[in-house]
Copies of this chain bind each other. A is one copy, B any other.
Amino acid sequence: MSFNTFGHIFRVTTWGESHGPALGCTVDGVPPGVALSEADIQPWMDKRKPGQNKFTTQRKEADEVRILSGVFDGVTTGTPIQLMIENTDQRSKDYGDIAQAFRPGHADITYHQKYGLRDYRGGGRSSARETAARVAAGAVARAVLARMVPGLRITGYMVQMGGRGIDRGRLELAEVERNPFWCPDPVAAADWAAYLDELRLSHNSVGAVIEVVAEGVPPGLGAPLYGKLDSDLASAMMSINAVKAVEIGDGMAAASLTGVDNADEIRMGPDGPEFLSNHAGGILGGISTGQPVICRFAVKPTSSILTPRRTINASGEEIDLITKGRHDPCVGIRAVPVGEAMMACVILDHLLLDRGQTGGMRGRIG
């Protein structure tokens, strides 16, 4: 299996399995001279790490990152940065039951069909544990972005759990850190807590929708036609475990609009063009407009559940399977910091790429 790398200039190669000794990533293409230490990365790891409350897997991982290369005297040198996270709380014996059985809705069967064998412990490479490496890479991207585009801010939050959406009228970003769901609506958060408790106790799980917004993105980022900012975001988000859909701006709802309604009209503000709406989600023709870049993605429910489901094993026998182990009842919760990380990586990549594409030239208006 190849292609464990994403990005054009800012390139991240992740490695590692759920129950191997360690996992991590090589972050290549980081500009030189940016202050960076483990302390810049760890807070983002902590945000994603498991076992923080009853709504996520009870696996306890410190998720401590070590920088093994690419930083000297506290600053990046322009050489590849290796980030390693040791696995400390693997209970491989939990996985004996699924060593030969395929969980319905899980990658077990496709890995088997493609490779003829798989590391079944915790899902091996297909485990959401790989996203720890993405979050570490995203933290590096944030450190560079903070230096290159000071005003840029990336925020992710959950806007829907199961069929229960937030009330956009109550959306308050300050709320996001106050509940275990990264939910910007306190009323929805309370509702979700009760709902998820019930699901968990009934041996079930549920899906979710995450929204990630990047404010302060300069206009002009994107590499038409096959490295568009939105096609790269779509690829990045769809590559996250369990994601089944990606939307930019109005997303699927854009299909229901007329051209009159969808037009983001433009006026001239003191600092340049100002848009009167943002149906486009900050991207037109694959290039950033300067408005907030808005991306949403849907996460399916965790396939590892305690309710028996019909399936087969590697010998072709029909069985009923219950998946034990420590699984997230709503894997979408921990996808929030992962989505933020992917947004940071894609934007930095296009910022660097744009310098090469345009040779430094840039259009002006007015």
Given contacts A5-B13, A111-B285, 8 further A-B contacts (CB under 8 A): A1-B78, A13-B80, A29-B356, A106-B285, A110-B284, A245-B248, A262-B301, A266-B310
Which residues of chain B come closer than 8 Å to A30, judged between CB atoms? 1
What 1/0 mask marks residues of chain A from 159 to 182 whose CB sits below 8 Å from any chain B CB?
011110000000000000000000
Which stretch of A47-55, A56-64, A66-74, A185-193 is in the interface? A66-74
A-B contact pairs, 15 of them (CB 8 A): A2-B9, A2-B227, A3-B8, A15-B70, A33-B117, A79-B125, A113-B287, A114-B358, A114-B363, A228-B238, A235-B235, A244-B250, A246-B246, A251-B298, A315-B366
Contact across chains for B255 and A109 when beta carbons are under 8 A apart:
no
Contacts of A107 in B (CB 8 A): 224, 284-287
Query: B82 and A24: CB pair below 8 A?
Result: yes
B223 with A3: CB separation less than 8 A: yes
Q: If the complex has contacts A6-B226, A13-B5, A117-B363, are A264 and B105 also in contact, measured as CB distance less than 8 A?
A: yes
Given contacts A116-B33, A234-B246, are A5 and B11 in contact (CB under 8 A)?
yes
Greatest chain B CB density within 10 A among A82, A307, A311, A366 is at: A82
Which residues of B have CB within 8 Å of A232? 235
* Least Cβ–Cβ distance between A348 and chain B, in angstroms: 9
A156 within 8 A of B: no
Contact, CB under 8 Å: A69 / B22: yes
* Residues of chain A from 87 to 123 with CB closer than 8 A to chain B in the complex: 102, 104-107, 109-119, 121
Please indicate which of the listed interface residues A124, A245, A251, A315 has the most CB atoms of chain B within 10 Å of its own CB.
A245
The 6 A-B pairs with the shortest beta carbon distances in the complex, nearest first, are A316-B366, A107-B285, A3-B227, A31-B359, A2-B29, A205-B259
- Nearest residue, chain B, Cβ from A275: B104
Contacts of A208 in B (CB 8 A): 255
CA distance A316 to B365 in the complex (A): 6
Residues of chain B contacted by A318 (CB below 8 angstroms): 267-268
A361 within 8 A of B: yes
Q: Would you call B15 and A69 a contact (CB within 8 A)?
A: yes
Cα of A250 to Cα of B241 in the assembled complex, Å: 15
Residues in B neighbouring A248, C-beta threshold 8 A = 238, 244-245
Q: Are B205 and A258 in contact (CB under 8 A)?
A: yes
Cα distance, A163 to B219, chains bound together (Å): 31
In the complex, chain B residues whose CB is within 8 Å of the CB of A163 = 256
Question: Are the C-beta atoms of B14 and A225 separated by less than 8 Å?
Answer: yes
Partner of A26, one of B15, B121, B199: B15
A302 to B257, CA, bound (A): 10
B13 contacts A220, C-beta separation under 8 Å: no
Closest Cβ of chain B to A111, distance in Å, is: 6
A115–B3 touching, CB < 8 Å = no
Bound complex: CA A316 to CA B269 (Å): 9
- Report whether A361 and B33 are in contact in the complex, using a CB–CB cutoff of 8 Å: yes
Which residues of chain A (309-366) have a CB below 8 Å from chain B? 309-312, 314-318, 332, 352-366
CB distance from A254 to the nearest CB of B (A): 4
Judging by beta carbons under 8 Å apart, are A364 and B251 in contact? no
Interface string of A11-29 (1 = CB under 8 A from B): 1011111001111101011
> What is the bound-complex CA distance between A323 and B6, given in angstroms?
39
CB pair A118–B366 under 8 Å, yes or no, is: no
Task: Write the nearest CB–CB distance from A192 to chain B, whole angstroms.
Answer: 12
Complex Cα distance A248/B105, Å?
13
Given A273-B312, A363-B115, answer yes or no on A301-B257 (Cβ-Cβ < 8 Å).
yes
